[in-house]
Structure 1
Amino acid sequence: MTIVSSLTPEQRAVAEREVYVETPLRRFASDFSDSRIALLGLAMFLAFISLAVFAPLLAPQNPYDLSTLDLLDSRLQPGQSLSTGQIAWLGTDGLGRDMLSAIMYGLRISLSVGVMSALIALVIGASVGLVAGYAGGWLDAVIMRIVDIQLSFPAVLIGLVLIAVLGTGTEKIIIALVAVQWSYYARTIRSTAIVERQKEYIEAARCLALGRGVVLFRHLLPNCMPSLIVVVTVQVAHSIALEASLSFLGVGLPVTEPSLGRLISNGFEYMMSGSYWISFFPGVALLLLILSLNLVGDQVRDVLNPRLQR
């Protein structure tokens, strides 16, 4: 203590820099926090997650418990009171459901479907792209032609065809979203793997006669992860938007499993009669959710690629 107190401010600053070890995680957190817009997006996304997780505790009512609904509460304007005395801050829909509660419960399904489909597509697409980029030759050509064919069609069109074949339901929509998205991950990691496989550490692993699986998933995959992390943040938002589009068209999730897209679809028929809030507020929630993910993904891309630093 005596030695530290006897140091000059300049010597103390040098000593603190020598003691402090900047780990990759600390460096990432420090660079990420430099953007106030990214922090705002992260705060918005965490707020949406909190509303979804704690919806049974925070929501004024369970909007899908028929015993709590009253048709006399149908299409109440924002700020009016329900028959139970509670205030419907965002109004009610045609069945008398509180829109604020419906949005909270809709967030649960939209987030779970979007995150789960993106993660499953990540595992499948990363594995396929890693093998294609590392192996090269005819295998790479065949896989990339399949990817090119799929990417040439609109994602909504592929989703419509798959839902028509599989049917509606949470599991079916996740399968359809995975089938649509895996090609994005495969193309991204394949281009990175082609560059990485020419580097010295891969040559050293080959000289040590390591198994192909060890080279792929222990040495090559970790060095391809930065590009995948960026794609994941974008594809989660894409999954949520695509599920909302399918549900709005009436071929996504059923009425008993409401997502934000289904809520927007439910209120579309009342739009011309002046009950704008039934579709407007779920649409705003969907917009802010996707915006928050895009803001976070944009900053993650800049942090992981110093050449893109603003």
Structure 2
Amino acid sequence: MAAAVQDDGINPWRTFASDFAEKKLAVLGLIVFVALIAAAIFAPWITPQNPYDLNQIDFLDGRLEPGSVGSQITYWLGTDDQGRDLLSGIFYGLRTSLAVGAASTLIALVLGGALGLFAAYFGGRVDTLIMRIADLQLSFPAILIALILVSALGQGVDKVIISLVAVQWAYYARTIRGTALVERRKEYVEAATCLAISHRRIVFKHLMPNCTPPLIVVGTVQVAHAISLEATLSFLGIGVPITEPSLGLLIKNGFDYMLSGDYWVSFYPGLALLITIVSINLVGDQLRDVLNPRLKK
């Protein structure tokens, strides 16, 4: 019998997939999100031009053209104020936005998860110190902390990621601490302690695997939050530099042209950002229902 199949013959992955597929909107969100990831990865091969290659841009005659299908180049969504194909810009912008969101979420999850586990397991002063720092960080709006850090560190994808990690880690620390406090009182942890197993092994091999489902749910939602924060910082002009493609920068570049009737320059990148965030939230919402048995009907 395969290792993935439990003793009673039930495949947990098949059960998970079946439960997840119960909500059609979540399945649609997953399909859309996977399609967006594929578009971002394969952007250099599926877009009509590289919007950041000066040799492929028509600065004089190609500016602010509405969506059309030409004989040589197809501009489905039109061009921006610099003559760049907007669809290509969106796909390239997705690469940066998704990479920043995924990287910052992963780093914050590992950092915050480890701190939350240590706080719950050791308790006492360690717990008090970590949680008070987390409470202090959560008492301020996330965008305010990100603005201060990016302003201090300067522009750059790496600077944005560092700022988003500083904003996000406390969510994971508090989430996993609450779960770990419950797991810490269970018999398997007490048995491991009586057997004189090292603290590191108890925390990472026994305690952590039973605390990961809530982290998966929070992490999924925080990816969307990180993407929206990055877009906000870039829209304000202090996020990624202008040489890097980003949905926030595309929205900013076209914002001044909306009043003159060239709405597509800002509208379509904003729509792409909205679709990305909504699809991620649909997946995260269903993951919460599936991974938390108390929420199942």
> Considering the TM-score relative to the shorter chain, is it more than 0.5?
yes
Q: What are the within-5 Å matches in structure 2 for residues 17-96 of structure 1?
A: 21-71=9-59, 72-79=61-68, 81=70, 85-96=72-83
In structure 1, distance between residues paired with 2:137 and 2:73: 50
1:275 to 262, 265, 270: 262
1:254 aligns with 2:241: yes
Residue 123 of structure 1 corresponds to 110
Q: 2:245 is aligned with what amino acid?
A: P
What secondary structure sits across from 2:66 in the alignment? Answer: coil
Report the RMSD for the aligned CA atoms in angstroms.
1.4
In structure 1, distance between residues paired with 2:8 and 2:73: 54
In structure 2, distance between residues paired with 1:114 and 1:63: 22
What secondary structure sits across from 1:264 in the alignment? Answer: helix
What secondary structure sits across from 1:204 in the alignment? Answer: helix
1:146 aligns with 2:113: no
- Is there any run of 5+ residues in structure 2 with no aligned partner, and where? 1-6
Q: 2:42 is aligned with what amino acid?
A: F
Q: What are the within-5 Å matches in structure 2 for residues 95-106 of structure 1?
A: 95-106=82-93
Q: 1:95 is aligned with what amino acid?
A: Q
Cα distance per residue 1:126-178 (max 9 Å; x no partner): 00000001111121111111101100111111011111111101111111111
Query: How many residue pairs are counted as aligned between the two chains?
Result: 291
What secondary structure sits across from 1:223 in the alignment? Answer: helix
Q: What are the within-5 Å matches in structure 2 for residues 147-162 of structure 1?
A: 147-162=134-149
Residue 285 of structure 1 corresponds to 272
- CA positional deviation for 1:238: 0.6
1:265 to 235, 252, 266: 252
Normalising to structure 2: TM-score of the pair?
0.95
Cα distance per residue 1:72-111 (max 9 Å; x no partner): 1000011264xx8312110100000000000010011100
Cα distance per residue 1:37-87 (max 9 Å; x no partner): 110000000000110011011001000001111121000011264xx8312
Residue 8 of structure 1 corresponds to none
Normalising to structure 1: TM-score of the pair?
0.91
In structure 1, distance between residues paired with 2:221 and 2:296: 18
In structure 1, distance between residues paired with 2:74 and 2:178: 54
Query: Which structure is larger by alpha-carbon Rg, 1 or 2?
Result: 1
Q: 2:66 is aligned with what amino acid?
A: Q
CA contact (8 A) 1:248 1:262 kept: yes
Q: 1:226 is aligned with what amino acid?
A: P
Residue 284 of structure 2 corresponds to 297
1:233 aligns with 2:253: no
What secondary structure sits across from 2:50 in the alignment? Answer: coil
In structure 1, distance between residues paired with 2:145 and 2:54: 35
What secondary structure sits across from 1:301 in the alignment? Answer: helix
Residue 151 of structure 2 corresponds to 164
Cα distance per residue 1:186-213 (max 9 Å; x no partner): 0000111111100000000000000000
In structure 2, distance between residues paired with 1:136 and 1:173: 32
What secondary structure sits across from 2:48 in the alignment? Answer: coil
Q: 2:240 is aligned with what amino acid?
A: L
In structure 1, distance between residues paired with 2:173 and 2:102: 18
CA contact (8 A) 1:159 1:177 kept: yes
What secondary structure sits across from 1:240 in the alignment? Answer: helix
In structure 2, distance between residues paired with 1:272 and 1:140: 53
